[in-house]
Every structure is written in structure tokens, then in C-alpha cells.
Amino acid sequence: MITPREAALSIRGLQKSFTGQPVYSGFDLDVKRGDILAIFGPNGCGKSTLINMAAGLLEADGGTILYDGRTVREVRIGYVFQNYREALFPWSRAAENIRYPLRRMGLGKREIEARVEKLAADFRVRFDLHRYPYELSGGQQQLVSVMRALAVEPEVLFLDEPFSALDYETTLDLRALLQDVLKRLGVTTILVSHDLEESIFLADRLLMLTRRPTMLADDVTVDLPWPRDSDTLSTPGFVALKKRCLDVFTASVAAA
């Protein structure tokens, strides 16, 4: 049970419909400060819709979304989109993409450069940030997107299937880097993924959703030790959690 003092995000009575068809009808959610919450469910169940409403990118039809009592307009939000090719400004170098939100915040040059340098060190960047996005690999472009989202020092970070367009080797590398940085910085994070393995690997808690109208199928505590690496995927604890989640998912889909 998450107390109001522990909650970074509280959603109550959320409602959303498209063309008269309900997606959410009275949905509640609390996210604990500093946790990584993964959201998993069938295609079209409303995973991205949920975080888009929470991030203020999509208007809810009803209910409340509050961050420690504040609206989304009163907090710093970071958002990493699935399609990195469209998320970055192609006319700006990678470093300029990272600097952009900091300039919008009105920060001075010294503070901006300090943040960029720190992020480059945190993520152990080995490629040239003075290159344009089209000169970088897909994994490098998505890493720049993550760095840009974290540059503003967000209170809550949203990740919408951030690795779905990347190859498996790159995904493993970025997962390891991301979990290390997020846990070290204590950033409250909400991850949407269609990959169950990824959801368990990165999360403190896994929210499993049903088909529309979307309800909670299960709320799973992921009590695997940090840090996690590729060996974690074959540990008895990970395998047991994955089986439990697969059983819930299969039963939920069958019931629908």
C-alpha cells in the first residue's frame, strides 16, 4: 500500500474513450517516488494512452492526475518516444538536441554544459556528440533521446517502448545503462513495453493490464536485486516472475 506521502503520481477515477468506446473507466493508480513502474498488456489496451494522459500529451475525459498534489503543468516531465528518428531534430547536432530543453528552461551556458558532460559520463558515451542524428546508429540516437529527457532533471520520466525499434544486442546494452543511471539518480520512471522480459528486467513493479475497457489484471512486485544484467534473465527468481506474468496475461486474454 502506497501512502500519499510516498506517491510521486496519483491517478484517481481516470476516464477516457475513443469514438464512444471506453478505454479507461474509473481507473486508479499510485506510483511510488523513486520506483520504476513498467506497464504491460495486450496491443491496443491503452498503455501509451495512459502515460500520454499522465504526461499531459493527451487530455483525459475525467478523473484526476496529480503529482504530489500538483498538476502536470507544475512539474518537470521527461519523455522518451518510441520513434527516435522523429523525436530528434535532424538539423541539430546530438549535443544541441540535449541542450535544447535546457535553453528553453533559461539555464546559463555553464550549467547547460555541466549537465551535458555529466550525462555523457553517466551513460559512458563513446561516440561524438557533435555529429548529426543521421550520422549515428539507432541505439546512439535513442541514447541521445534518453539523455535529453534526463537533462531537465525530471521529477517523473516516461518511456514509451524506447527499445522496440532496436536490435537485441543494442537493447541489452541500453537496458543495462538505463537501469544503472535511473537507480543511481532515483528518478521515478514509468515504462511502457510490449516486451515482458524487458518489463520485468527494468522494473521495481509491473502493472499488467487487460484488454479494453482496461482494468488491472495484476500488480506484481519485482523483488530482484539491483543491478541486473544478462545473467539475471536466467535466475530462478526471474524465471518464476516471468511464468507468473505469462499465466496472468494468457488468462486475461482468454477471458476477453
State pLDDT tens for residues 76-116.
999 999 888 889 999 999 999 999 999 999 999 999 999 99
**pLDDT (0 to 100) of residue 148:** 97
**pLDDT (0 to 100) of residue 253:** 82
The pTM of the whole model exceeds 0.85: yes
What is the bridge-based pairing of β-strands 21-32 and 7-18? antiparallel
In 3D space, the residue among 174, 216, 198 whose CA is nearest the CA of residue 47 turns out to be 216
**Chain segment 46-79, per-residue pLDDT in tens:** 999 999 999 999 999 999 999 999 999 999 999 9
Residue 107, class by beta-carbon neighbours within 10 Å (0-12 exposed, 13-18 middle, 19+ buried)?
middle
Residue 86 or residue 239, greater confidence: 239
Class of domain 1-75+156-163+186-256: alpha beta
Q: Which three cell numbers stand for residue 28?
A: 486508479
Contacts of 7 (CB under 8 A, 6+ apart): 30, 31, 32, 33, 68
